[in-house]
Amino acid sequence: MLLNRRLFITGLASVAIGSAARADAPMFFTQGGVAIRGFDTVAYFRNGAPKRGSPDISVMWKAASWHFSSHENREAFEANPRAFAPQFGGYCAYAVGRGYLTETDPSTWRIVEDKLYLVHSPDVARLWLQDIPGNIALAEENWPGVLFH
């Protein structure tokens, strides 16, 4: 009975330590705690272009500060953040598909089936655009596990 209890406690400890040790990356890519480098995630959908947000019009969600260019955009985000937040935590969609995380450039983006995807750079965007459905599928296979590598 004592051996079983030790094994159980050892197992719990290893799970707890393993979980803590594996949480390497935050759920959303931020710079200085700010998502999408301060760009308004709702503007991609409403304006069809990236637009810098203001720290004066912001909201905290998922441990990140999200900046908006208008109060209306902030309210839309607050009502349904998952509808506007970038896929794969705002990390490069191409990189996630290859099993790693990298930062993104807010000017390299695409909305596919009402979902926002960001990539690292214009050069990476050219690669990603060659097979959007395939690259999204690869990234979906790796997400969110890639956060824990």
Amino acid residing at 126: R
4 within domain boundaries:
no
**What is the tally of structural domains in the chain?**
2
Count of CA atoms in the C-beta half-sphere (13 A) of 25: 21
16 within domain boundaries:
no
**Same-domain status, 73 and 117:** no
Going by C-alpha positions, the residue among 133, 118, 109 that lies closest to residue 28 is: 118
**Same-domain status, 90 and 138:** yes
Residue 4 pLDDT > 90, yes or no?
Answer: no
Mean pLDDT across 35-48: 99
Going by C-alpha positions, the residue among 72, 75, 77 that lies closest to residue 62 is: 77
Task: Select the more confidently predicted residue: 107 or 13.
Answer: 107
**Same-domain status, 42 and 90:** no
> Mean pLDDT for the chain?
89
For residue 62 the two structure tokens come to 């998922």
Which pLDDT score, from 0 to 100, does residue 107 have? 98
Contact present, 24 and 98 (Cβ < 8 Å) = no
Which pLDDT score, from 0 to 100, does residue 20 have? 37
pLDDT digits (tens, 9 = 90+) for 54-106: 999 999 999 999 999 999 999 999 999 999 999 999 999 999 999 999 999 99
74 within domain boundaries:
yes
**Same-domain status, 94 and 149:** yes
Give residue for tokens 């990189």.
95
11 within domain boundaries:
no
**Domain span holding position 122:** 86-149
